Amino acid sequence: MSVVTPPRPADPDERSLDERVAELEALIEEARRRARRRRQRIAVVLIAGAIGATLLIGFGGHSGNATGTRGLAGTRNAPSPTANNEPLGALPPTLGFVQSLAFDPRNPRVVYLVAGRMGVARTAVVKTTDGGAHWRVLAASGWPGGYQTLVADPRHPGTLYAGTGVGVFKTVDGGQTWRRSNRGMFVRRFSDRNIGWVSAIAVDPLNTSVVYAGTDQINKSTDGGHSWRPVFTPEPVRSDDSISVSALAVAPTHPETIYAIHASSRTGDTSIYTSSDAGKTWRVSISVPTFVHGFVTDLVVDPHQPTTVYAAVGATVLKTQDGGRDWQPIGHGLPVKAGLPRGGCHCNNGVTTLAIDPHRPGTVYAGVNQGGIYETTSGGRHWRRVAAKGTYYLTTMVGVDPAQPTTVYGAGLREYDDSVHLFRTTNGGRTWASAPEE
């Protein structure tokens, strides 16, 4: 009898090398596909979570104002849950009205202001290093003169320039020490070279060794304010104390372009001048018969478009979009009017200061006498009051922090009791907090 032995199954290990490699590659590819699907599912979950969080924040996941702050008139709906949650401290007593604001270019917690009272011969620079919770007077300040201006170097923290009645003072250590310089600045106007008036300062944002200062002429320094030379005299110099060049601005993206406002005591006109070659030549852009001795004017340039400029001239706000060839009034919604304020005060009865948001160029703030702070988000087509319901006179100042543009400071002097008010928003104007009154 014969026995038939069934065939032995093939040993997997006896498969050809090519078959084993092909199977291994198939397993690897399947693992890759599964890993890709897992990553895609995780990404979808993360994106959905992020969108949900954004919607929660954007539409006010929490409601109500932060504890310890007092909202001012004109607050918007749906305030941010973190709006103004830091205290805003009072300014030192008997300081006087705020004349100018300056900001550290990198640290939003460092803010400077210069202030003084009418009839008081000396003013003071005040500083905070904790975002406005506490303020202190810098011991080295307190210069002669009344109205003064303060400008920070946009590239070097701690470097500031102050325009005073005796020249330009500069600090490079955050206000601890100041050095005066007026060499070459007043020789055309006064026999005493130590007397004059610096009413406006502008620093070249790309080359901060270049500084412009306005007196009865436009002066330029190329060594960081150590020495000066006149580059433009709008009219024959008079031996009086009238302010003539009252505002200066350098275009951030094209610093060869400079704008200046000159108030003529001879003709009674206020003119806006422009230079496109770093001050070598100048031309009249517009002249308006609105000069009132001693009034305040201001200029701001669009941070992204050097031909777009906003100008406060008397009781008028003007705008150009073509470098000054054509100007249009944009005061719709602002409480500006011609004439002098009550009491015969020879000061501007309109917009005293302008500030532009560097991240949102169409957003501009205006400090208005007898009106508080107004805002436009449409490049000046419409304005609305956002802070300071009470009546203020002499000055209402406003400044946008360049290191954190959602933080805006305002200050004003109340008409009836001469009390100084300080207020601030940290959420782009949606809500405002007021410091305790003196």
The answer to whether 245 and 260 have CB atoms below 8 angstroms apart is: yes
What's 208's DSSP letter? T
Q: Which of 210-219, 329-338, 380-389 is most confident?
A: 210-219
What's 429's DSSP letter? T
Give residue 69's pLDDT band: very low, low, confident or very high (50, 70, 90).
Answer: very low
Residues 119 and 237 grouped into a single domain: yes
Residues 294 and 416 grouped into a single domain: yes
Domain that holds residue 381: 97-434
Share of the chain residues as helix, strand and coil, in percent rounded to the nearest 5:
10, 30, 55
Is the pLDDT assigned to residue 404 strictly greater than 60?
A: yes
Which residue, of 34, 58, 82, is where some domain finishes?
A: 58
The answer to whether 394 and 347 have CB atoms below 8 angstroms apart is: yes
Tell me the mean pLDDT in the region 190-205: 74
Residues 159 and 285 grouped into a single domain: yes
Is the pLDDT assigned to residue 351 strictly greater than 50?
A: yes
Helix and strand totals (H; E) in the chain = 1, 28
* pLDDT (0 to 100) of residue 228: 94
Is the pLDDT assigned to residue 14 strictly greater than 70?
A: no
Q: Of all residues in the chain, what percent carry a pLDDT higher than 70? A: 65
Residues 196 and 52 grouped into a single domain: no
Is the pLDDT assigned to residue 378 strictly greater than 80?
A: yes
Is the pLDDT assigned to residue 173 strictly greater than 80?
A: yes
Encode pLDDT of 386-400 as tens digits: 987 655 555 678 999
Residue 83 lies in a domain: no
Residue 77 lies in a domain: no
- Domain containing 213 — which CATH number? 2.130.10.10
Residue 182 lies in a domain: yes
Is the pLDDT assigned to residue 236 strictly greater than 70?
A: no
Residue 90 lies in a domain: no
Residue 2 lies in a domain: no
Encode pLDDT of 267-301 as tens digits: 777 899 999 999 999 999 998 876 444 456 899 99
Select the more confidently predicted residue: 393 or 74: 393
* pLDDT (0 to 100) of residue 318: 92
Tell me the mean pLDDT in the region 171-197: 74
Is pTM beyond 0.75? Reply is yes
Residues 149 and 231 grouped into a single domain: yes
Residues 54 and 101 grouped into a single domain: no
The 3-class secondary structure across 12-41, one letter per residue, is HHHCCHHHHHHHHHHHHHHHHHHHHHHHHH
Encode pLDDT of 141-171 as tens digits: 667 656 688 999 999 999 999 998 888 999 9
Residue 82 lies in a domain: no
Residue 75 lies in a domain: no
Encode pLDDT of 116-148 as tens digits: 765 555 678 999 999 999 999 986 666 765 668
Encode pLDDT of 213-224 as tens digits: 998 889 999 999
Residues 271 and 408 grouped into a single domain: yes
Picking from 305, 369, 298, 360, the residue whose alpha carbon sits closest to that of residue 337 is: 369
Residues 247 and 146 grouped into a single domain: yes
Residues 52 and 129 grouped into a single domain: no
395 residue type, one letter: T
Q: What are phi and psi of 21, to 5 degrees?
A: -65, -40
Q: How many domains in the chain?
A: 2
Residues 50 and 122 grouped into a single domain: no
Sign of CA dihedral 227, 353, 284, 147: negative
The helix (run of H) or strand (run of E) holding residue 213 is: strand 211-214
Residues 217 and 271 grouped into a single domain: yes
Residue 78 lies in a domain: no
Judged by average pLDDT, the poorest of 278-287, 321-330, 412-421 is 412-421
Which residue, of 58, 77, 107, is where some domain finishes?
A: 58
Residues 46 and 178 grouped into a single domain: no
